[in-house]
Amino acid sequence: MTKFRIPLACPEITDADREAVLQVLRTPDLSFGPKLGEFENAIASYLHVDQAVAVNSGTSALHLALRILNIPENSEVILPSFAFVAPLNVLLQEKLRPIFVDIDPAMLNTTPELVEAAITPRTKAIIAIHTFGRPVDAAKLRDLADRRGLFLIEDACEALGAEIGSRKAGSFGHISVLAFYPNKQITTGEGGILMTSNPEFADHARRLRNQGRDPSLDWFQQTEIGYSYRLSEMNCALGLEQLKRIETIVERRQALAALYDQKLSSIPQIVRPALSAPGHRISWFVYVVQLASGFNASERDALCAALSARGIATARYFAPLHLQPVAAELSKSHLPQTEFAADRVIALPFFNQLTESQIDEVCRTLKESLKDL
């Protein structure tokens, strides 16, 4: 694997984080100990939700959401195509039919209007995704879901700390999920969490994450098919310590985005993301720019290669889900805004410890490399 002088992402691990993990290692409780409940309660308190169930990844949390909602096979679930592959994977695993919708090109999120237009009698659920930490209008999507008798699964995996109005992203879904992979705002190494205000959903999630065991019965008695989706005490201890500084992290990332915006303003070939979302709060997961409309995907890839050759990591977020080979037999969609954006987006280095001098170098190299296209 190429080692970059300026990586795309880098987890911020402090001495306090390390000590929190070491404290767990000094105990016999490495799984299902006190840190699990503490972490779940801390996340629930921060988001102002009733129940939180920690699992080993955001993908696992999405999978459990579908299992808990018991959506019949071959039912339709609406989601944006411009997204990470995890929602598509869990839908296909559960033999559900993804119905892909397009995006607003400015925000790179779908809209309630596009979702509503895709609803059919076979629709059972909506997956709302806060892409790159930019809030989708989850309040309107929840109203839409309730009005049409659908479930709303809120995927806030990239958006811890984002807000829609006065409420946190992750507090709107019938079931919502977060993820804590090392490139996220806070990390547990690997990990995710499922949130809900329905205690029956939460109890079901707790059974499913632990092999289908019912805690009211003997340890070796299982009431249904379950999974090994547990999250260790070390992961939870790390997450607890990191969550203490989430507000500082969100503010730091906003400041980094503002620096990028300032330094890229003199490059006309680059379309910068808006620094704010009226009435909402962005929690920057990554900093993604787009090449202007005159460029194509091969030129974007050549630009990324040029930065890579000079030790600067970039990424092509995201490949449209409706064009993935695994979905070829399911979707014949043409989503022009998704396809247009996917050919031109570039994620630039973005992490808490990124310095202004590193941002200067990224922007200078980007400008110089554009001259060679």
Q: Which residues are catalytic?
A: 184
Residue 103 carries which side chain, given as an amino acid letter? Answer: I
Taking CA atoms, 96 is separated from 66, 70, 138, 326, in Å, by 9, 11, 22, 13
Terminal Cα-to-Cα distance of the chain (whole angstroms): 26
Say whether the peptide bond before residue 100 is cis (omega within 30 degrees of 0).
no
* Residues near 348 by beta carbon (within 8 Å), at least 6 away in sequence: 8, 260, 287, 288, 289, 314, 362, 366
Residue whose C-alpha is closest to residue 245's, from 10, 21, 14:
14
Q: Rounded to an integer, what distance in angstroms lies between the CA atom of residue 371 and that of residue 274?
A: 25
Question: What are the two backbone dihedrals, phi and then psi, of residue 111, each rounded to the nearest 5 degrees?
Answer: -130, 160
Residue 78 carries which side chain, given as an amino acid letter? Answer: I
